[in-house]
Chain A
Amino acid sequence: QSALTQPASVSGSPGQSITISCTAASGDIYEFEYVSWYQRHPGKAPKLIIYQVYKRPSGVSSRFTGSRSGMRASLTISGLQADDEADYFCCSHTSLSTYVFGTGTKVTVL
């Protein structure tokens, strides 16, 4: 099972919007209706920010939005803030009852 492909890095200025993509190389086993997104600050545990493509857990800012088109999922961060600087990972459940994470994207706030 190959990792899901994400851009290695994305950057933006405060207040701007950025989008991170998450693409499956082959769609046979990925159940993209269960795509989730995680934010990880250095030295901290990952934090769930999006589940089931677009849903946000309680307490997560509405500036984070998720979407999906076929076997490509996206995370958009609007109104970029300094605290958004972190690594972001997508994750998909598979039909083999396993999970596969994306390669990870480093977000830099300029």
Chain B
Amino acid sequence: QVQLQESGPGLVKPSQTLSLTCTVSGGSIISADYFWNWIRQPAGKGLEWIGRIYSNGRVDYAPSLKSRATISVDTSTNQFSLRLDSVTAADTAVYWCASRISSRGAFDHWGPGAQVTVSS
């Protein structure tokens, strides 16, 4: 069973870069069966898909975040990461990493989530 765990700073200053890492266990990040995703939810608002990366390096982003987001994978550590540049208070949210298995087309495993606050 795939398990995911987010890690990274909980506080980021405005205009700086938010960086989060997701450690995958119970499965290989190079598996052709999975896409690896980042999803967030600001307080009081809905879920927002940020982007995904596939084992072959293919990356897709939400149009609204494409200019600021970068998702990468480190196969040596079985981790994938999110960088979000030029953050503002609107980027304050709980961030999750989640796996999507190709056969289901849905986010079947999620990390516990990481609260990130953008504030000076």
Q: Interface residues, chain A, CB within 8 Å of chain B?
A: 1, 3, 34, 36, 38, 45-48, 51-52, 55, 57, 89, 91, 93, 96-104
How close is A57's CB to chain B, nearest CB, in angstroms? 7
**Which residues of chain A are near B111, meaning CB under 8 Å?**
45
Those of B37-94 within 8 Å (CB) of chain A: 37, 39, 46-49, 60-63
A93 x B46 contact (CB < 8 A): no
- Closest beta carbon of chain A to B106's beta carbon, Å: 4
Question: Chain B residue with minimal CB distance to A33?
Answer: B105
Interface residue? B112 (CB, 8 A): yes
Question: For the complex, would chain A's binding face be called helix, strand, loop or mixed by DSSP majority?
Answer: strand
Q: Is the CB of A52 within 8 A of B104?
A: yes
CB pair A98–B107 under 8 Å, yes or no, is no
B106:A45 contact, CB within 8 angstroms = no
Provide 7 A-B residue pairs closer than 8 Å at the C-beta atoms, listed in order of the A residue: A36-B104, A45-B96, A45-B113, A48-B106, A89-B46, A98-B60, A101-B46
Name which of A89, A100, A101 has the most chain B CB atoms within 10 A of its CB.
Answer: A101
- Please tell me if the beta carbons of A46 and B108 are within 8 angstroms of each other in the complex: no
Do A3 and B108 touch across chains, with their CB atoms under 8 A apart? Answer: no
Q: How far is the CA of A89 from the CA of B39 in the complex (A)?
A: 13
> How close is A75's CB to chain B, nearest CB, in angstroms?
13
Q: Is the CB of A36 within 8 A of B62?
A: no
Assess A51 versus B49: contact at CB under 8 Å? Given A45-B96, A45-B112, A46-B96: no
Cα separation A96 to B108 with both chains bound (whole Å): 21
